[in-house]
């Protein structure tokens, strides 16, 4: 399941994050790569665990924690500290799959990467190329969003970033471990949650059907949840 979440950061939030990361020192993006990724990856990123990455990352985490659509779609259990990357001058990231386990070298914090998240921090008209291309059973999905918007997609999917041929593409990226390991079950819960919200807005939260569907949602969450 791939979900676009609009307005995770507003204009002021994007500017705040950019002020921090633009003033920081950038290093070779292969600092956090696995073997497969290191062959395909050409970009720069903020050093993992740096003060700038931690400050900007906390702003991102606070923002996603306030985004109802993110919570509904991801059902997050643990979220990896956000990282920040930049592509320009033909830099790209070839086809790869994210590592199944992510470990924060500084703290030893460890997650199973169920979902990958990319939060765009550059207006799409400011650069050419730089599309996030996600492969699925329905073909390639090409993603290039407004600054402040985010895409959420299975970490198990093959994906790549096309070469940036003009300007620079700056983004935050991170992974999370969901309370629901199975992507199909997570998608069913998300669809059920959206139906409950729509029905509640139409009929009111005290409607019998809304109450029964809400009960079904939580019973499935109890059955499938991994805490």
Per-residue pLDDT tens digits for 122-178? 999 999 999 999 998 889 999 999 999 999 999 999 999 999 999 999 999 999 999
Please compute the mean of the pLDDT values over residues 209-220 and round it to a whole number. Answer: 98
More confident residue, 37 or 218: 218
Q: Kindly state the tokens that stand for 57.
A: 């990352």
Flag whether pLDDT at 36 surpasses 60.
Answer: no
User: What pLDDT sits at residue 34?
Assistant: 54
Please compute the mean of the pLDDT values over residues 54-63 and round it to a whole number. Answer: 98
Give percent above pLDDT 90 in the chain: 89
User: What pLDDT sits at residue 196?
Assistant: 97
Q: Kindly state the tokens that stand for 26.
A: 């950038």
pTM of the model: 0.93
Tokens 């956090």, residue?
A: 32
Flag whether pLDDT at 32 surpasses 80.
Answer: no
φ and ψ at residue 102, rounded to 5 degrees: -115, 135
Q: Which residues contact 56 (CB under 8 A, 6 or more apart)?
A: 17, 20, 21, 46, 82, 84, 172
Grouping H, G, I as helix, E, B as strand and the rest as coil, residue 37 is: helix
φ and ψ at residue 115, rounded to 5 degrees: -130, 145
Structural domains of the chain, with CATH? 3-178 (2.60.120.620), 183-224 (4.10.860)
Mean pLDDT, the chain, rounded, equals 95
C-alpha distances in angstroms, 40 versus 62, 96, 101?
Answer: 31, 8, 19
User: What pLDDT sits at residue 213?
Assistant: 98
User: What pLDDT sits at residue 86?
Assistant: 98
**∠ at Cα 174 (169, 176), nearest 5°?**
155
Q: Which residues contact 23 (CB under 8 A, 6 or more apart)?
A: 52
């Amino acid at each position: 399941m791939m979900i676009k979440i609009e307005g995770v950061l507003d204009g002021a939030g994007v500017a705040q994050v950019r002020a921090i990361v633009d003033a920081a020192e950038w290093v070779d993006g292969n600092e956090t790569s696995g073997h497969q990724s290191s062959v395909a990856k050409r970009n720069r990123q903020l050093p993992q665990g740096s003060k700038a990455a931690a400050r900007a990352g906390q702003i991102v985490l606070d923002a996603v924690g306030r985004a109802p659509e993110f919570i509904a779609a991801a059902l997050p259990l643990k979220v990896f500290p956000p990282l920040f990357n930049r592509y320009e001058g033909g830099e790209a990231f070839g086809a790869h799959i994210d590592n199944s386990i992510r470990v924060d070298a500084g703290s030893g914090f460890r997650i199973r990467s169920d979902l990958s998240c990319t939060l765009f921090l550059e207006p799409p008209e400011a650069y050419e190329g730089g599309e996030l291309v996600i492969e699925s059973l329905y073909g390639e999905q090409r993603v290039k969003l407004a600054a402040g918007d985010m895409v959420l997609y299975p970490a198990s999917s093959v994906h790549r970033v096309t070469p940036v041929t003009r300007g620079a593409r700056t983004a935050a990226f991170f992974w999370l471990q969901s309370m629901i390991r199975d992507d199909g079950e997570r998608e069913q819960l998300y669809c059920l949650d959206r139906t409950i919200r729509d029905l509640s807005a139409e009929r009111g939260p005290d409607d019998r059907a809304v109450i029964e569907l809400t009960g079904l949602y939580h019973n499935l969450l109890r059955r499938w949840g991994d805490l």
